[in-house]
Structure 1
Amino acid sequence: MYEPTVRMTRLLTGLAASIALSACTTVEDAPKGDAAYAIIPAAPAVGMDYRIAADDVLRIQVYHEPGLSLEDAQVTAAGMVRMPLVGDVPVAGLSAGEASDVIAGRLGDRYLVSPQVTVFVKKAVSRRITVDGEVREPGLFPVEGRLGLVQAVAMAKGPTRLASLKQVVVVRQADGARAAAMFDLSSIRRGEAPDPEILPGDMILVGPSRVKTILGAGLLALPAIGAGFIALDGGR
């Protein structure tokens, strides 16, 4: 059996084994078309700045103040970054530009006159997606801005020759529930369908062309209780 198919089979079987399923349905029953985009919306045409999160690593430059600048400032679990003179500054949930303004405001209150601060996100540690299944290099990948499904699959070096581009499933957890939706990547590539937006924490499973997969029924509904994937056969 082709190695990526074996890897996906084991992954999906392991996920299912850890969760008790009350009912199962075939992957073909996952929402498609408009119903899929209702769960995983298309990415907006206008981009949005990346939002800083806990564990991200920042470069903070204070113009003409090297003693106050930081090369590797890690955001704490509480969403703070510790700056010289002013101590902890809340930056989680802010864009780099907004964080620059907040830090400049703190420094300008007591220590500097009109400080110029620039914040760069060096490592988006906490913002990652999982791409697995029939892709050339499955794994975890950082999300540093707006990301569509086509680009997400490309980060894993693209689909293998055994991939079914019509069976690309996006699994998302939100508000304590998990949901899945299936997309036709070939149609998206041709511009015949919108490119859904991929968010940090999403899991993308590129289905094999000849392996049937089942999902827990709870995963396919909103809200859902649990989720599971099981490979039924080797697809031969």
Structure 2
Amino acid sequence: MRQPAPRAIIAALVLGSVAACATVEDAPRGEQAYAIMPPPPAIGMDYRLSPDDVLRIQVYHEPDLSLEDARVDAQGMVRMPLIGAVPVAGLSASEAADVIAGRLGERYLVSPQVSLFVKKAVGRRITLDGEIREPGLYPVEGRLTLSQAIALGKGPSRLADMRQIVVIRRLDGQRQAAMFDLAAIRKGEAADPEILPGDQLIVGLSRAKAILGGALLAAPALAAGFIALDGD
């Protein structure tokens, strides 16, 4: 019988190790961690409005009904002249424009035309946690790299291990993790990966283990660069 080639044996071993449960220490690093970083998405048709988003709402030929800086309130409402509070949270920009046009057309205008533009998408946020000076939620406006994201939180704490930046991302419905070396990135020895809205960055492996609290699931995505996390 023909013996399998060494490369096939290695591939089988990799797949076998991926199928087992792992802990956050096994989150991919180096080239694997960069392998599936997708390009940053633009604020497009699929963006869903969130509280604190700032909108430009234009009602054609009706400047008195148009708003330049309309903020979505904590209840997900935007307040319009004549029609009052309109629920828009969870809607796309075009869907919200249609709702506003429908409300205006019910009593006040004939076939109103409404356009809505997202000026500030606060719903596009990342979470900074772990050994960082100012942890918290931060809005993503435009493109953002890992080093820029860490800078939003005023940088790692004095005792932080900059070689251990864990990035949590939802891929194909699962939370998955990868680990990056910020020290190497700052020296120009490694690429500065894109950080996407919804990402969670945890500085320090020990803090990541404490925050994530548990083992990771079997992770077929490991070979692609991320390892799936237990939970939702």
* Pairwise same-fold verdict (TM > 0.5): yes
Q: CA deviation at 1:197?
A: 1.9
Contact 1:74 1:81 in 2 (8 A): yes
Pair 1:169 & 2:163 matched? no
Q: Secondary structure, in 3 states, of the residue corresponding to 1:36?
A: helix
The counterpart of 1:179, out of the listed 161, 176, 181, is 176
* Structure-to-structure mapping, 1:99-178, within 5 angstroms: 119-122=117-120, 124=122, 126-178=123-175
The counterpart of 1:55, out of the listed 46, 51, 57, is 51
Distance (Å, rounded) in 2 between the aligned partners of 1:92 and 1:165: 39
* Structure-to-structure mapping, 1:78-89, within 5 angstroms: none
Q: CA deviation at 1:179?
A: 0.6
Contact 1:42 1:195 in 2 (8 A): no
Q: Secondary structure, in 3 states, of the residue corresponding to 2:129?
A: strand
Q: CA deviation at 1:23?
A: 4.5
The AA in structure 2 aligned to 1:53 is L
Contact 1:168 1:205 in 2 (8 A): yes
TM-score, normalised to structure 2's length?
0.60
Q: Counterpart in 1 of 2:10?
A: none
The counterpart of 1:199, out of the listed 187, 196, 200, is 196
In the alignment, structure 2 segments of 5+ residues that lack a partner are 1-19, 222-226
In the alignment, structure 1 segments of 5+ residues that lack a partner are 1-21, 229-236
The counterpart of 2:230, out of the listed 182, 204, 226, is 226
The counterpart of 1:25, out of the listed 19, 23, 26, is 23
Q: CA deviation at 1:189?
A: 2.3
* Distance verdict in 2 for CA 1:53–1:191, change over 3 Å: farther
* Distance verdict in 2 for CA 1:213–1:129, change over 3 Å: closer
| Aligned length in residues | 193
Distance (Å, rounded) in 2 between the aligned partners of 1:148 and 1:183: 12
* Distance verdict in 2 for CA 1:92–1:193, change over 3 Å: farther
Q: CA deviation at 1:146?
A: 2.0
Distance (Å, rounded) in 2 between the aligned partners of 1:57 and 1:191: 35
Q: Counterpart in 2 of 1:72?
A: 70
* Distance verdict in 2 for CA 1:191–1:153, change over 3 Å: same
CA-to-aligned-CA distance 1:165-195 (integer Å, 9 cap, x gap): 1110001123331110001112222333222
Distance (Å, rounded) in 1 between the aligned partners of 2:126 and 2:54: 20
